[in-house]
Every structure is written in structure tokens, then in C-alpha cells.
Structure 1
């Protein structure tokens, strides 16, 4: 009878426990890896969205400034030739009914209105736009020496939350030199 039990093939209890532990270890590693990959994908989508929104807003500002005749900003109170504001109002050379074009930062959104019409939001609802409390738009008057031409600089920050609730933000800026 003793020989009969020794020749039987199969797993002992110890072998079974070891195989189950190895399987659990491998599955845990696989799940952690998959979670990291999926989380990284969501963060990358948020980063891409913020970058696309910022690029779109820069494009709209560049469009508004192309062919500009006058820029309407508050008067230069300190006489340094530099004005800051949260609103950009421009009048283009053409005589279209879209004059003036007004871009404003309001409530975390850039809005645009044309020809005194209703303001329309430029960015999507998933992002928030912010800038320096003094203003998003910096106008520099021509110095007259031929070195520093008339220019307008736009600086702002676009931020959003990832699907995990983590914030992501990026700064954007552009300078447009005006020809007259």
C-alpha cells in the first residue's frame, strides 16, 4: 500500500500555495501597470486639451491683431508708454460691420464680440483662463527711435483638471508688432 501512494502524480498543498501566491503576485503587478498606463493616458489627454485651447486662443488674438488700425486700451496714466488691461479692443482697417473686435477675460473665459454684438466664449468649458490681475494685454507704444516698434503682448494661463482631479496648467504668450 505504501508504494501505491508514493507513485501518485499531483501537487502537494505547499506547491499549490506557492503557485497561488506567484499567480497573485503576477496579477497584482499586471493590474498596477494597467492602472498606471490608463492614468497616464488621461493626464496626457488633459495636457493636450490645455495646449490646444491655448494655441486656439493665441490664434484668435493673432487674428484680431492682423490688419489692425487702432488699439483701444486705457490711457497711459504714468507716461511710460505701456498700458495693461483685461480687455483688448481693436479696430481693423477694413470697414466691415465687425469693428470693433473686443476680446475680454471674464469669469475664467476669454470672450469675443464683434461690432458691438453679444459676447461669445472662445474657450471650452473644461478649461479656465487666467492672467495677471493687472491685465492680459500689454500695449507698448512706439518709442520713436526705430528700435522699439508699437506692439501688443498677450499673456495668459490655461488650466484644467485631469480625470483624477489633479490640476494642470500652462502659460501662453505672444507678441504682435503692429505696422501702420
Structure 2
């Protein structure tokens, strides 16, 4: 019998594989400690990039919203945070027509946060992440990612993300 759990945000039964326990810990942290509502958090947000002429479909683990605007793109992992920082930075630049302000790599107990526009580290540790109250006070710029850099960023995302589900993009 497959080990499953109930996703804290969606309420769906999901397989308990890989970093899923880390994601559940982080989802609870966002709601209970940082003040986000469950409806502020999108789980497995679809992303589609082009790699060598082929559509590469994957997901961003979590996208956290405030006032209907994305604030953080999150990659939940079971291992070393540094190994996934570049992947989620690329994902935060590509998932929408504009960049999400912050990218976060987390194992549920620690986190690394980057400013997506500059690529520079913005904070380390769960305390560095903005609460909903803090995010409400800040006007966050969400410029589009420069077209001339998109192909390179797509290659980076796909290269780091290869361990996740791959399929053709829908639509």
C-alpha cells in the first residue's frame, strides 16, 4: 500500500514521496506563523518552458500570493537548499509574464530567499521570509524578464528541474 498524506493547503490525498513532508511543514509555517491564508497559496503551479524546441512541462511547488499578486515562488526539498536555489530563481522569472519578487528554496526547517530581479540573496532562515502583514506594506515591482535572457533561463530551469515530472505543455 502506498504511503499517502493529506495536503495541508488543498485537502487532497497525495503520495508521501520525496520532499512532500518538507512541503507540508512549510505550508503550515506559512499559514500558522506568517499569517497567509490557505487561499493565498497555490500548490503545484504549472510552468511550461521550451528546451531545444520541445515543450517542457513542470510545476512550481508553491506560489504565495498577497492582494492577488504573487510574492514568493517556493521549491520544497528534502536535501541541501543551495542545490535548488538556481532552479527556483529561474522558475520565478519564467512562470508568469512577469517576475515573482522572491524565490525561496526550503526544506521546511530552513530557507534561502533571493530577490528575483537582481538574483541576490535576500535572506536566510525562515524568519527572513515576509509575513502576509509585511508583504501587504510593501509595493513589489514585478517587471517582465528580459526576452533576450529567456532562452538561457529556460535551459537553466529545465537542467535543474529534470527530476520532476516532464510532459508536453497543455495548450
What TM bracket, shorter-length normalisation?
A: under 0.3
Structure with max Cα Rg: 1
How high is the TM-score relative to the length of structure 1?
A: 0.22
